[in-house]
Chains A and B, each alone.
Chain A
Amino acid sequence: MSNIPKDLKYTKSHEWVKLNGDGTVTVGITHHAQDLMGDMVFVDLPQAGTKVTSGKECGVVESVKAASDVYAPVSGEIVEANAALADSPETVNKDPYGAGWMFRLKPANKAEVDALLDAKAYEALVASEKH
Protein backbone atom coordinates (compact mmCIF):
# COMPACT_ATOMS: atom_id res chain seq x y z
CA MET A 1 0.00 0.00 0.00
CA SER A 2 1.14 3.51 -0.71
CA ASN A 3 2.17 5.64 2.16
CA ILE A 4 0.95 9.27 1.74
CA PRO A 5 1.54 11.57 4.75
CA LYS A 6 -1.35 14.01 5.37
CA ASP A 7 0.85 17.02 6.20
CA LEU A 8 2.64 17.18 2.84
CA LYS A 9 1.76 18.67 -0.54
CA TYR A 10 2.20 16.73 -3.78
CA THR A 11 2.67 17.08 -7.54
CA LYS A 12 1.20 15.06 -10.37
CA SER A 13 4.76 13.98 -11.20
CA HIS A 14 5.09 12.29 -7.77
CA GLU A 15 7.20 14.76 -5.83
CA TRP A 16 6.27 15.64 -2.25
CA VAL A 17 6.66 19.16 -0.81
CA LYS A 18 6.98 20.05 2.86
CA LEU A 19 6.43 23.62 4.06
CA ASN A 20 9.23 24.42 6.49
CA GLY A 21 7.65 27.61 7.92
CA ASP A 22 10.78 29.69 7.17
CA GLY A 23 9.85 30.55 3.59
CA THR A 24 11.50 27.41 2.20
CA VAL A 25 10.09 24.03 1.18
CA THR A 26 11.73 20.60 1.17
CA VAL A 27 11.18 18.34 -1.84
CA GLY A 28 11.53 14.60 -2.40
CA ILE A 29 9.84 11.83 -4.38
CA THR A 30 6.92 9.91 -2.94
CA HIS A 31 6.84 6.38 -1.58
CA HIS A 32 4.77 5.41 -4.61
CA ALA A 33 7.39 6.85 -7.00
CA GLN A 34 10.34 5.06 -5.38
CA ASP A 35 8.33 1.82 -5.27
CA LEU A 36 7.67 2.02 -9.02
CA MET A 37 11.34 2.78 -9.75
CA GLY A 38 12.87 0.06 -7.57
CA ASP A 39 16.40 0.19 -6.11
CA MET A 40 18.01 3.59 -6.68
CA VAL A 41 21.60 3.62 -7.88
CA PHE A 42 22.26 7.28 -8.79
CA VAL A 43 20.74 10.58 -7.76
CA ASP A 44 21.71 13.76 -9.60
CA LEU A 45 20.47 16.97 -7.94
CA PRO A 46 20.59 20.71 -8.72
CA GLN A 47 23.22 22.76 -6.88
CA ALA A 48 22.40 25.49 -4.37
CA GLY A 49 21.73 28.75 -6.16
CA THR A 50 20.15 27.11 -9.23
CA LYS A 51 16.97 28.83 -10.41
CA VAL A 52 14.30 26.26 -11.22
CA THR A 53 10.98 26.53 -13.04
CA SER A 54 7.76 24.90 -11.96
CA GLY A 55 7.11 21.67 -13.88
CA LYS A 56 10.58 21.62 -15.47
CA GLU A 57 13.12 18.87 -14.78
CA CYS A 58 15.82 19.82 -12.29
CA GLY A 59 17.32 16.48 -11.32
CA VAL A 60 17.48 12.79 -12.21
CA VAL A 61 16.97 9.64 -10.19
CA GLU A 62 18.20 6.42 -11.70
CA SER A 63 17.30 2.93 -10.50
CA VAL A 64 18.49 -0.46 -11.67
CA LYS A 65 15.39 -0.52 -13.83
CA ALA A 66 14.97 2.99 -15.21
CA ALA A 67 15.94 6.67 -15.16
CA SER A 68 13.42 9.34 -14.28
CA ASP A 69 13.49 13.13 -14.14
CA VAL A 70 12.74 14.97 -10.93
CA TYR A 71 10.61 18.05 -11.59
CA ALA A 72 10.60 21.33 -9.70
CA PRO A 73 7.20 21.44 -7.97
CA VAL A 74 7.25 25.26 -7.94
CA SER A 75 9.51 27.97 -9.37
CA GLY A 76 12.25 29.36 -7.15
CA GLU A 77 15.87 29.00 -6.08
CA ILE A 78 17.58 25.90 -4.71
CA VAL A 79 18.84 26.56 -1.16
CA GLU A 80 20.41 23.19 -0.44
CA ALA A 81 20.66 19.73 -2.06
CA ASN A 82 20.89 16.51 -0.05
CA ALA A 83 24.56 15.68 -0.64
CA ALA A 84 24.29 12.38 1.30
CA LEU A 85 22.28 10.83 -1.54
CA ALA A 86 25.32 10.77 -3.85
CA ASP A 87 26.89 8.02 -1.74
CA SER A 88 23.73 6.33 -0.51
CA PRO A 89 21.00 6.63 -3.14
CA GLU A 90 19.20 3.68 -1.49
CA THR A 91 18.09 6.13 1.23
CA VAL A 92 15.43 7.30 -1.25
CA ASN A 93 13.93 3.78 -1.11
CA LYS A 94 14.32 3.30 2.62
CA ASP A 95 13.10 6.68 3.86
CA PRO A 96 11.56 8.68 0.99
CA TYR A 97 9.88 11.27 3.25
CA GLY A 98 12.77 11.62 5.71
CA ALA A 99 16.49 11.13 5.08
CA GLY A 100 15.72 10.56 1.39
CA TRP A 101 14.73 14.24 0.83
CA MET A 102 16.27 15.74 -2.30
CA PHE A 103 16.50 19.52 -2.05
CA ARG A 104 15.30 22.63 -0.25
CA LEU A 105 13.87 25.38 -2.38
CA LYS A 106 12.84 29.03 -1.81
CA PRO A 107 9.61 29.44 -3.80
CA ALA A 108 9.29 32.60 -5.89
CA ASN A 109 5.52 32.69 -5.58
CA LYS A 110 3.58 31.35 -2.60
CA ALA A 111 0.45 30.90 -4.71
CA GLU A 112 2.18 28.07 -6.57
CA VAL A 113 2.74 26.25 -3.28
CA ASP A 114 -0.91 26.67 -2.32
CA ALA A 115 -1.98 25.23 -5.67
CA LEU A 116 -0.15 21.90 -5.13
CA LEU A 117 -2.18 18.72 -4.51
CA ASP A 118 -3.13 17.79 -0.96
CA ALA A 119 -2.76 14.22 0.32
CA LYS A 120 -6.32 13.29 -0.59
CA ALA A 121 -5.98 14.53 -4.18
CA TYR A 122 -2.63 12.75 -4.55
CA GLU A 123 -4.09 9.53 -3.19
CA ALA A 124 -6.84 9.74 -5.81
CA LEU A 125 -4.20 10.29 -8.50
CA VAL A 126 -2.22 7.21 -7.42
CA ALA A 127 -5.42 5.14 -7.28
CA SER A 128 -6.40 6.25 -10.79
CA GLU A 129 -2.96 5.28 -12.17
CA LYS A 130 -3.40 1.76 -10.89
CA HIS A 131 -6.29 1.13 -13.26
Chain B
Amino acid sequence: MGLRTPLYENHLKMGAKIVDFGGWDMPLHYGSQIEEHHKVRKDCGMFDVSHMNVVDVKGAKVRDFFRLLLANNVDKLKTQGKALYSCMLTAKGGVIDDLIVYYMDDQWFRVVMNAATRDKDMAWVNSAAKEFGGLTVTPRNDMAMIAVQGPNAKEKVYQALGEALRAPAGALKPFHAVTVGELFIATTGYTGEDGFEIILPAKAAPFTWQMLNEAGVPPIGLGARDTLRLEAGMNLYGSDMDETTTPLESGLAWTVALEPAERKFIGREVLDKQKAQGVPRQLVGLLLEGKGVLRNHQKVMCNGAGEGEITSGSFSPTLEQSIAFARVPASVKIGDRCTVDLRGKPATVRVVKYPFVRNGKSCI
Protein backbone atom coordinates (compact mmCIF):
# COMPACT_ATOMS: atom_id res chain seq x y z
CA MET B 1 0.00 0.00 0.00
CA GLY B 2 1.27 3.44 -0.92
CA LEU B 3 0.65 6.85 0.58
CA ARG B 4 -2.91 8.09 0.20
CA THR B 5 -4.35 11.58 -0.14
CA PRO B 6 -7.45 12.68 1.83
CA LEU B 7 -9.42 12.05 -1.40
CA TYR B 8 -8.47 8.38 -1.82
CA GLU B 9 -11.91 7.09 -0.77
CA ASN B 10 -13.58 9.58 -3.15
CA HIS B 11 -11.51 8.17 -6.02
CA LEU B 12 -12.51 4.59 -5.21
CA LYS B 13 -16.19 5.56 -5.06
CA MET B 14 -15.89 7.22 -8.46
CA GLY B 15 -14.44 4.07 -10.05
CA ALA B 16 -10.82 5.21 -10.35
CA LYS B 17 -8.13 2.88 -11.61
CA ILE B 18 -5.45 3.40 -8.97
CA VAL B 19 -1.73 3.30 -9.80
CA ASP B 20 1.49 3.98 -7.93
CA PHE B 21 2.88 7.45 -8.60
CA GLY B 22 6.07 8.31 -6.73
CA GLY B 23 4.98 6.20 -3.76
CA TRP B 24 1.37 7.49 -3.80
CA ASP B 25 -1.77 5.53 -4.69
CA MET B 26 -3.26 7.91 -7.26
CA PRO B 27 -6.10 7.77 -9.82
CA LEU B 28 -4.84 7.06 -13.38
CA HIS B 29 -8.32 7.52 -14.86
CA TYR B 30 -11.98 7.03 -13.96
CA GLY B 31 -12.91 5.13 -17.14
CA SER B 32 -11.38 6.83 -20.16
CA GLN B 33 -8.28 8.98 -20.10
CA ILE B 34 -9.02 10.47 -23.52
CA GLU B 35 -12.58 11.46 -22.61
CA GLU B 36 -11.24 13.10 -19.46
CA HIS B 37 -8.70 15.02 -21.54
CA HIS B 38 -11.43 16.38 -23.84
CA LYS B 39 -13.62 17.38 -20.87
CA VAL B 40 -10.86 19.64 -19.56
CA ARG B 41 -10.23 21.20 -22.98
CA LYS B 42 -13.95 21.76 -23.74
CA ASP B 43 -15.60 22.22 -20.32
CA CYS B 44 -13.75 21.52 -17.07
CA GLY B 45 -12.47 18.87 -14.72
CA MET B 46 -10.84 18.48 -11.30
CA PHE B 47 -7.58 16.84 -10.28
CA ASP B 48 -6.50 15.61 -6.88
CA VAL B 49 -2.98 17.01 -6.57
CA SER B 50 -2.78 16.62 -2.80
CA HIS B 51 0.31 14.44 -3.23
CA MET B 52 2.27 17.57 -4.14
CA ASN B 53 4.48 18.99 -1.43
CA VAL B 54 3.24 22.30 -0.01
CA VAL B 55 5.87 23.91 2.23
CA ASP B 56 5.73 27.19 4.15
CA VAL B 57 9.03 28.97 4.77
CA LYS B 58 8.97 31.79 7.30
CA GLY B 59 11.48 34.20 8.75
CA ALA B 60 12.79 37.75 8.49
CA LYS B 61 15.25 36.80 5.72
CA VAL B 62 12.93 34.54 3.71
CA ARG B 63 13.30 36.59 0.51
CA ASP B 64 17.10 36.53 0.71
CA PHE B 65 16.91 32.78 1.16
CA PHE B 66 14.91 32.24 -2.03
CA ARG B 67 17.19 34.65 -3.93
CA LEU B 68 19.96 32.16 -3.18
CA LEU B 69 17.95 28.94 -3.55
CA LEU B 70 16.18 29.53 -6.88
CA ALA B 71 17.37 30.06 -10.46
CA ASN B 72 14.49 32.47 -11.06
CA ASN B 73 14.51 35.72 -9.11
CA VAL B 74 11.95 36.16 -6.33
CA ASP B 75 12.47 39.92 -6.60
CA LYS B 76 9.95 39.65 -9.46
CA LEU B 77 7.41 39.04 -6.68
CA LYS B 78 6.44 42.56 -5.74
CA THR B 79 2.79 42.18 -4.68
CA GLN B 80 1.38 39.76 -2.11
CA GLY B 81 -0.08 36.62 -3.63
CA LYS B 82 2.11 36.75 -6.77
CA ALA B 83 3.52 33.38 -7.90
CA LEU B 84 6.77 32.49 -9.65
CA TYR B 85 7.78 29.28 -11.44
CA SER B 86 11.41 28.28 -10.92
CA CYS B 87 13.94 25.49 -10.81
CA MET B 88 16.00 24.67 -7.75
CA LEU B 89 19.53 23.65 -8.83
CA THR B 90 22.52 21.70 -7.55
CA ALA B 91 25.89 23.46 -7.42
CA LYS B 92 26.55 21.84 -10.81
CA GLY B 93 23.45 23.47 -12.33
CA GLY B 94 21.37 20.26 -12.47
CA VAL B 95 17.67 20.52 -11.70
CA ILE B 96 16.73 19.17 -8.24
CA ASP B 97 13.07 20.05 -8.80
CA ASP B 98 10.79 22.59 -10.43
CA LEU B 99 8.37 24.46 -8.20
CA ILE B 100 6.02 27.37 -7.75
CA VAL B 101 6.77 29.89 -4.99
CA TYR B 102 4.11 32.30 -3.70
CA TYR B 103 4.87 35.57 -1.93
CA MET B 104 2.48 35.51 1.05
CA ASP B 105 4.00 38.35 3.06
CA ASP B 106 7.44 39.76 3.84
CA GLN B 107 8.19 36.95 6.29
CA TRP B 108 6.34 34.08 4.59
CA PHE B 109 6.78 32.37 1.22
CA ARG B 110 4.83 29.24 0.23
CA VAL B 111 6.41 26.67 -2.12
CA VAL B 112 4.69 23.84 -4.02
CA MET B 113 7.08 21.09 -5.11
CA ASN B 114 6.73 17.66 -6.72
CA ALA B 115 5.60 14.57 -4.82
CA ALA B 116 8.13 12.06 -6.16
CA THR B 117 11.06 14.28 -5.16
CA ARG B 118 9.76 15.07 -1.66
CA ASP B 119 12.58 13.52 0.39
CA LYS B 120 15.49 14.99 -1.54
CA ASP B 121 13.75 18.37 -1.84
CA MET B 122 13.17 18.57 1.90
CA ALA B 123 16.75 17.51 2.64
CA TRP B 124 18.04 20.21 0.27
CA VAL B 125 15.75 23.00 1.49
CA ASN B 126 16.32 22.15 5.15
CA SER B 127 20.09 22.05 4.83
CA ALA B 128 20.16 25.34 2.85
CA ALA B 129 17.80 26.96 5.39
CA LYS B 130 19.90 25.75 8.31
CA GLU B 131 23.01 27.34 6.85
CA PHE B 132 21.07 30.51 6.23
CA GLY B 133 19.76 30.67 9.80
CA GLY B 134 16.62 32.03 11.36
CA LEU B 135 14.09 30.28 9.10
CA THR B 136 11.33 27.77 9.81
CA VAL B 137 10.47 25.22 7.11
CA THR B 138 7.05 23.60 7.57
CA PRO B 139 5.65 20.93 5.23
CA ARG B 140 1.88 21.41 5.19
CA ASN B 141 0.83 17.78 5.48
CA ASP B 142 -2.42 19.11 6.95
CA MET B 143 -3.35 20.51 3.54
CA ALA B 144 -4.90 19.02 0.41
CA MET B 145 -4.82 20.47 -3.10
CA ILE B 146 -7.46 20.35 -5.84
CA ALA B 147 -6.91 21.76 -9.35
CA VAL B 148 -10.04 22.77 -11.28
CA GLN B 149 -9.18 23.44 -14.91
CA GLY B 150 -10.94 24.19 -18.19
CA PRO B 151 -12.83 27.03 -19.88
CA ASN B 152 -15.79 26.68 -17.47
CA ALA B 153 -13.71 25.86 -14.38
CA LYS B 154 -13.92 29.21 -12.58
CA GLU B 155 -17.68 29.53 -13.04
CA LYS B 156 -18.18 26.00 -11.67
CA VAL B 157 -16.00 26.78 -8.64
CA TYR B 158 -18.17 29.80 -7.75
CA GLN B 159 -21.32 27.69 -8.21
CA ALA B 160 -19.99 24.87 -6.06
CA LEU B 161 -18.07 26.69 -3.35
CA GLY B 162 -19.88 29.98 -3.06
CA GLU B 163 -20.52 33.28 -4.82
CA ALA B 164 -18.35 34.93 -2.16
CA LEU B 165 -15.33 33.62 -4.09
CA ARG B 166 -16.29 35.36 -7.33
CA ALA B 167 -15.02 38.84 -6.44
CA PRO B 168 -11.65 37.97 -4.89
CA ALA B 169 -10.78 34.93 -7.07
CA GLY B 170 -12.27 36.38 -10.25
CA ALA B 171 -10.07 39.47 -9.92
CA LEU B 172 -6.84 37.43 -9.94
CA LYS B 173 -4.52 37.83 -12.91
CA PRO B 174 -2.72 34.67 -14.10
CA PHE B 175 -0.12 33.35 -11.62
CA HIS B 176 -1.59 35.06 -8.56
CA ALA B 177 -3.24 33.74 -5.42
CA VAL B 178 -5.61 34.94 -2.73
CA THR B 179 -6.70 33.51 0.61
CA VAL B 180 -10.46 33.43 1.19
CA GLY B 181 -11.37 31.92 4.55
CA GLU B 182 -9.81 28.43 4.61
CA LEU B 183 -9.15 28.37 0.87
CA PHE B 184 -5.92 29.42 -0.83
CA ILE B 185 -6.94 29.99 -4.45
CA ALA B 186 -4.35 30.38 -7.21
CA THR B 187 -4.64 31.04 -10.93
CA THR B 188 -2.02 28.43 -11.74
CA GLY B 189 -2.32 25.07 -13.44
CA TYR B 190 -0.76 22.33 -15.52
CA THR B 191 -3.16 22.05 -18.45
CA GLY B 192 -2.88 25.22 -20.56
CA GLU B 193 -6.49 26.11 -19.67
CA ASP B 194 -8.11 28.69 -17.43
CA GLY B 195 -8.80 27.62 -13.85
CA PHE B 196 -7.68 27.48 -10.26
CA GLU B 197 -5.45 25.42 -8.02
CA ILE B 198 -6.95 25.38 -4.53
CA ILE B 199 -5.01 24.53 -1.36
CA LEU B 200 -7.33 23.72 1.52
CA PRO B 201 -7.39 21.90 4.87
CA ALA B 202 -7.20 18.13 4.33
CA LYS B 203 -10.31 17.64 6.44
CA ALA B 204 -12.36 19.85 4.10
CA ALA B 205 -11.15 18.13 0.91
CA PRO B 206 -13.61 15.20 0.58
CA PHE B 207 -16.63 17.45 1.04
CA THR B 208 -15.25 20.13 -1.32
CA TRP B 209 -14.53 17.47 -3.96
CA GLN B 210 -18.11 16.22 -3.65
CA MET B 211 -19.55 19.76 -3.92
CA LEU B 212 -17.53 20.37 -7.09
CA ASN B 213 -18.70 17.08 -8.54
CA GLU B 214 -22.33 17.89 -7.77
CA ALA B 215 -21.87 21.20 -9.60
CA GLY B 216 -20.89 19.17 -12.69
CA VAL B 217 -17.11 19.01 -12.41
CA PRO B 218 -15.90 15.51 -13.39
CA PRO B 219 -12.78 13.97 -11.81
CA ILE B 220 -9.69 13.71 -14.05
CA GLY B 221 -6.85 11.25 -13.51
CA LEU B 222 -3.10 11.49 -13.83
CA GLY B 223 -3.23 9.98 -17.33
CA ALA B 224 -5.08 12.98 -18.78
CA ARG B 225 -3.00 15.32 -16.61
CA ASP B 226 0.07 14.09 -18.49
CA THR B 227 -1.37 14.51 -22.02
CA LEU B 228 -2.83 17.92 -21.09
CA ARG B 229 0.50 19.25 -19.79
CA LEU B 230 2.41 17.85 -22.77
CA GLU B 231 0.04 19.55 -25.24
CA ALA B 232 0.38 22.74 -23.17
CA GLY B 233 4.18 22.56 -23.52
CA MET B 234 4.88 22.14 -19.82
CA ASN B 235 7.86 20.19 -18.51
CA LEU B 236 7.57 17.12 -16.30
CA TYR B 237 10.30 16.68 -13.70
CA GLY B 238 12.14 13.37 -14.00
CA SER B 239 11.26 13.07 -17.70
CA ASP B 240 12.16 16.38 -19.34
CA MET B 241 14.76 17.51 -16.79
CA ASP B 242 16.61 16.13 -13.79
CA GLU B 243 19.91 16.56 -11.98
CA THR B 244 21.89 15.62 -15.12
CA THR B 245 20.46 18.50 -17.17
CA THR B 246 20.50 22.25 -16.68
CA PRO B 247 17.36 24.37 -17.20
CA LEU B 248 19.03 25.88 -20.27
CA GLU B 249 19.07 22.42 -21.90
CA SER B 250 15.49 21.74 -20.83
CA GLY B 251 13.47 24.50 -22.46
CA LEU B 252 13.51 26.45 -19.19
CA ALA B 253 15.88 29.32 -20.02
CA TRP B 254 12.88 31.64 -19.55
CA THR B 255 12.79 30.64 -15.87
CA VAL B 256 16.45 31.48 -15.22
CA ALA B 257 17.20 35.05 -14.14
CA LEU B 258 20.87 35.76 -14.93
CA GLU B 259 20.21 39.47 -14.43
CA PRO B 260 21.14 41.16 -12.15
CA ALA B 261 24.62 39.64 -12.51
CA GLU B 262 25.44 40.24 -8.85
CA ARG B 263 22.70 37.89 -7.57
CA LYS B 264 24.42 34.71 -6.47
CA PHE B 265 22.21 31.62 -6.68
CA ILE B 266 23.10 27.96 -6.33
CA GLY B 267 24.17 26.58 -9.73
CA ARG B 268 24.76 29.99 -11.28
CA GLU B 269 28.42 29.47 -12.23
CA VAL B 270 27.62 26.51 -14.45
CA LEU B 271 24.77 28.36 -16.19
CA ASP B 272 26.93 31.45 -16.81
CA LYS B 273 29.60 29.23 -18.31
CA GLN B 274 27.09 27.33 -20.45
CA LYS B 275 25.59 30.58 -21.70
CA ALA B 276 29.04 31.97 -22.59
CA GLN B 277 30.22 28.80 -24.36
CA GLY B 278 26.89 27.94 -25.98
CA VAL B 279 24.34 25.47 -24.66
CA PRO B 280 25.06 22.12 -26.37
CA ARG B 281 21.53 20.69 -26.27
CA GLN B 282 17.99 22.02 -26.43
CA LEU B 283 14.47 20.79 -25.77
CA VAL B 284 12.21 20.91 -28.85
CA GLY B 285 8.73 19.78 -29.79
CA LEU B 286 8.20 16.89 -32.22
CA LEU B 287 5.17 16.08 -34.29
CA LEU B 288 4.77 12.61 -35.80
CA GLU B 289 3.29 13.03 -39.24
CA GLY B 290 2.15 9.42 -39.70
CA LYS B 291 0.47 6.88 -37.44
CA GLY B 292 1.95 5.52 -34.25
CA VAL B 293 2.92 6.99 -30.89
CA LEU B 294 6.26 8.51 -29.89
CA ARG B 295 7.47 7.16 -26.53
CA ASN B 296 9.92 8.30 -23.85
CA HIS B 297 13.60 7.38 -24.46
CA GLN B 298 13.23 6.71 -28.19
CA LYS B 299 16.27 7.84 -30.14
CA VAL B 300 15.95 10.79 -32.53
CA MET B 301 18.29 10.86 -35.56
CA CYS B 302 18.81 14.49 -36.61
CA ASN B 303 20.47 14.08 -40.04
CA GLY B 304 23.92 15.76 -39.93
CA ALA B 305 23.42 17.22 -36.46
CA GLY B 306 23.74 14.04 -34.40
CA GLU B 307 21.33 12.24 -32.12
CA GLY B 308 18.79 13.16 -29.48
CA GLU B 309 16.25 11.44 -27.26
CA ILE B 310 12.54 11.78 -26.63
CA THR B 311 11.94 12.91 -23.04
CA SER B 312 8.10 12.90 -23.10
CA GLY B 313 6.20 11.21 -25.90
CA SER B 314 2.50 10.51 -26.11
CA PHE B 315 -0.66 10.77 -28.17
CA SER B 316 -2.28 14.19 -28.35
CA PRO B 317 -6.07 13.73 -28.05
CA THR B 318 -6.64 17.31 -29.27
CA LEU B 319 -4.42 17.04 -32.38
CA GLU B 320 -5.22 13.33 -32.86
CA GLN B 321 -1.59 12.56 -33.60
CA SER B 322 1.51 11.85 -31.61
CA ILE B 323 3.60 14.65 -30.09
CA ALA B 324 6.74 14.71 -27.97
CA PHE B 325 9.45 16.73 -26.31
CA ALA B 326 12.98 15.71 -27.28
CA ARG B 327 16.42 16.80 -26.18
CA VAL B 328 18.45 17.28 -29.39
CA PRO B 329 21.71 18.99 -30.44
CA ALA B 330 21.60 22.80 -30.43
CA SER B 331 22.02 23.03 -34.21
CA VAL B 332 18.62 21.43 -34.91
CA LYS B 333 16.14 24.07 -36.19
CA ILE B 334 12.37 24.44 -36.04
CA GLY B 335 10.93 22.93 -39.23
CA ASP B 336 13.72 20.32 -39.60
CA ARG B 337 12.76 16.71 -40.24
CA CYS B 338 14.25 14.03 -37.99
CA THR B 339 13.84 10.26 -37.83
CA VAL B 340 12.63 8.18 -34.89
CA ASP B 341 12.88 4.42 -34.70
CA LEU B 342 9.27 3.39 -34.00
CA ARG B 343 9.25 -0.28 -33.08
CA GLY B 344 11.77 -1.15 -35.76
CA LYS B 345 10.34 1.12 -38.46
CA PRO B 346 11.84 4.55 -39.23
CA ALA B 347 9.26 7.35 -38.85
CA THR B 348 9.61 11.00 -39.85
CA VAL B 349 8.98 13.68 -37.24
CA ARG B 350 8.85 17.44 -37.71
CA VAL B 351 10.59 19.74 -35.22
CA VAL B 352 8.02 22.28 -34.01
CA LYS B 353 7.68 25.10 -31.52
CA TYR B 354 5.58 24.32 -28.50
CA PRO B 355 3.06 24.71 -26.83
CA PHE B 356 1.11 22.38 -29.09
CA VAL B 357 -2.28 23.46 -27.67
CA ARG B 358 -3.41 26.52 -25.67
CA ASN B 359 -6.92 27.33 -24.47
CA GLY B 360 -8.40 24.45 -26.42
CA LYS B 361 -6.84 25.41 -29.77
CA SER B 362 -4.00 23.94 -31.79
CA CYS B 363 -0.89 26.12 -31.99
CA ILE B 364 0.70 23.94 -34.69
| Residues of B that sit less than 8 Å from A by CB | 28-29, 32-34, 223, 227, 291-293, 295, 314-315, 317, 343
Contact = CB atoms under 8 A, between A and B. Distances in A.
A120 to B, nearest CB: 26
A17 B7 CA distance: 41
25 contacts: A38-B33, A39-B29, A39-B32, A39-B33, A39-B34, A39-B223, A41-B293, A41-B315, A42-B291, A42-B293, A44-B291, A60-B343, A62-B292, A62-B293, A64-B34, A64-B227, A64-B293, A64-B314, A64-B315, A64-B317, A65-B223, A66-B295, A67-B295, A67-B343, A90-B32
A39 B35 CA distance: 9
A62 B345 CA distance: 15
A119 B72 CA distance: 59
A38 B29 contact: yes
A42 B34 contact: no
> Which of A38, A39, A42, A62: most chain B Cβ within 10 A?
A39
Contacts of A42: 291-293
Contacts of B33: 38-39, 64
Nearest to A93: B32
Interface string A88-125: 00100100000000000000000000000000000000
Interface of A: 38-39, 41-42, 44, 60, 62, 64-67, 90, 93
A64 B291 contact: no
Nearest 8 CB-CB pairings of A with B: A39-B34, A41-B315, A39-B33, A64-B315, A62-B293, A42-B291, A39-B32, A64-B33
Nearest to A94: B32
Nearest to A42: B291
A66 B317 CA distance: 15
B17 to A, nearest CB: 8
A45 to B, nearest CB: 12
Nearest to A44: B291
Nearest to A38: B33
A38 B293 CA distance: 14
A93 B314 CA distance: 18
Contacts of B223: 38-39, 64-65
Contacts of A65: 223
Nearest to B33: A39
A103 to B, nearest CB: 18
> Which of A44, A64, A65, A67: most chain B Cβ within 10 A?
A64
B27 to A, nearest CB: 13
A30 B343 CA distance: 23
Nearest to A35: B17
Contacts of A66: 295
B349 to A, nearest CB: 16
Given A62-B315, A64-B315, 8 more contacts: A38-B33, A41-B315, A44-B291, A62-B292, A64-B33, A64-B34, A64-B314, A66-B295
B38 to A, nearest CB: 11
Contacts of A64: 33-34, 223, 227, 293, 314-315, 317
A64 B34 CA distance: 8
B14 to A, nearest CB: 17
A67 B343 CA distance: 9
A67 B293 contact: yes
A5 B176 CA distance: 54
A97 B84 CA distance: 51
Nearest to A60: B343
A53 B322 CA distance: 31
A8 to B, nearest CB: 24
Contacts of A67: 292-293, 295, 343
